[in-house]
Amino acid sequence: MTTRIARPAALSCALVGVMMLGGCGLQPSGVEEGPEAPTGLAPGVTLYFLDDDENLIPQQRETGQLGSISDAVGLLLTGPGNSGLSTGIDETTVTRVVTSERSEVIELRLPLARHQVEDAGVDQIVCTTAATHVQVGGSPEIPVQLRFTDISEEPAVCPVL
């Protein structure tokens, strides 16, 4: 009776030994290159406003989370607050922005007509969109197309990223 028990146990030990020895021929692979990893946890979003010379200036808004492009542009539309910066975007109470990404273009549907946004304001929206996209691991060079309530702009990239 002991040989019946000993045989399966010996077979199991032999099988484990063969498997362990078989693994000795494996070599570690090299470091694989890939796209940059997402930046991880973010204390908030980066919005772009204008200084006195109408230069684009990034401003961190502490939200406790990264949020989406729609969230970031919605915050941008609320204005610069007491930051000492300005905006090229008319005041609005409607801040809902619809975002979609298609064929390597980020498209934003804005609750504003084109005449309510100066050219510098267009850059603010494009750069805020690009900055949020970069924070989740995307490319800063992705074009952003703005669709106003009356017209659509050609896709553009952020001039400062």
* pLDDT tens sequence across 29-74: 555 554 444 445 567 899 999 999 999 999 999 888 878 999 999 9
CA 140 to chain centre: 9
The answer to whether 50 and 29 have CB atoms below 8 angstroms apart is: no
Please report, for the chain, the start and end positions of each structural domain, with discontinuous segments joined by +.
Answer: 44-147
pLDDT at site 37: 44
pLDDT at site 54: 95
* pLDDT tens sequence across 77-127: 999 999 999 999 999 999 999 999 987 999 999 999 999 999 999 999 999
pLDDT at site 19: 54
pLDDT at site 148: 98
